[in-house]
Amino acid sequence: MNSKPSPDSQIALAPAGAGWHHDVLSHDIDEFARAQRNWSLHYEQISSGRFTGRLQHVQMPGLRMVYERASCALWQRGELDAAHVGFALPIDLAGHATFNGQPLEADSIMIGRTERLDLCLPADAGLIAVVVDADLLGTLWEHLYQKRLSAWIDRQVVVPARPGLADELRRLHLRALSDVAAAPALLNDPAAALQLRDAILIEWIEALPTTVGIDELASGEARKRVVDRACELMLAQPDVPMTILQVCDRIGASPRKLEYCFHSVLGIAPAKYMRAARLNGVRRELRRGGGAVQDVAARWGFWHMGEFAAAYRRQFTELPSHTLRQAS
């Protein structure tokens, strides 16, 4: 059965069309991911606490504006629109954060093709972003700079915003979202929507640095591959979890290297991630009404019910029995 929306979640969706706006407030991490229309995203909660996510999207011809914030540290992966390019800038970044294995700072701009997203943000952080049709971006780029779109756009890169422009970009982006939320009929006016779209896109392009280096990409991507492979093995047989030494043996990495890669990419130790991922798996099954708590816990390798219930409550601030009752 499908999980029910959280009782205190709020999702307001505009009708589909050339332009639309929606606003989401949710306490269900999977509901939050599904609310991002036409995108395929998967979120893992990797810090403890009750999840609260806020999301705003504004779709205009060829461009989507995004605002997102969450109360817990998240690892999000997936795909956005094909043949698009994304630009994103963090908000209130105070903790470990990476994009495609590369470290983020407060005024870092994330750039890349949207067929692959891999982003880790700390608790209480947010981001603003635009996802733009690659052909539209290429045309505007040629008009502005009299040259073809830079080759590094095809990579997943992190660059510093030009000095003094990050805060102004945040202000303009958030104000535009607020204006549309207050008057969504603006999106039904083709001239007004295109004017807003072009103005926002130009502000993002102008915030990019004049030169972009990609020399450090390879090392970040290599660490991410180690983490991806380790995570795949950790969850391959959730009812019989592998030990960290077994994971190291399978991927050909020392415990020290595995620890380094996990801290570099996710900001946590491998063992802590494995426990969080298994607890997330239990929670998803309970939200779907997947059976008795003890049975679901056993399917994810938790055999001592007292220890499991305590760990679950620390992670999600509620007992597993409460989660199951909410699904019924």
Q: Which domains are assigned to the chain?
A: 10-206 (2.60.120.10), 217-327 (1.10.10.60)
* Helices and strands in the chain: count of H runs, count of E runs: 11, 13
221-242 confidence digits (pLDDT tens): 899 999 999 999 999 988 888 9
27-40 confidence digits (pLDDT tens): 999 999 999 998 99
Q: What's the pTM value of the predicted model, to 2 decimals? A: 0.88
Q: What pLDDT sits at residue 158?
A: 93
Q: Rounded mean pLDDT of the chain? A: 90
Mean predicted confidence (pLDDT) in 81-107: 93
Mean predicted confidence (pLDDT) in 294-300: 95
Q: What pLDDT sits at residue 9?
A: 46
Is the pLDDT at 181 greater than 60? The verdict is yes
| C-alpha 135, offset from chain centre | 24
238-276 confidence digits (pLDDT tens): 888 899 999 999 999 999 999 999 999 999 999 999 999
CB 183 within 8 A of CB 238: no
Q: What pLDDT sits at residue 42?
A: 95
> HEC states along 80-146?
CCCCEEEEEEEECCCCCCEECCEECCCCEEEEEECCCEEEEECCCCEEEEEEEEHHHHHHHHHHHHC
57-76 confidence digits (pLDDT tens): 999 999 999 999 999 999 99
Mean predicted confidence (pLDDT) in 23-29: 95
List, in order, residues 6 or more apart from 324 with CB less than 8 Å away. 286, 289, 293
Alpha-carbon gap, residue 157 to 214, rounded angstroms: 7
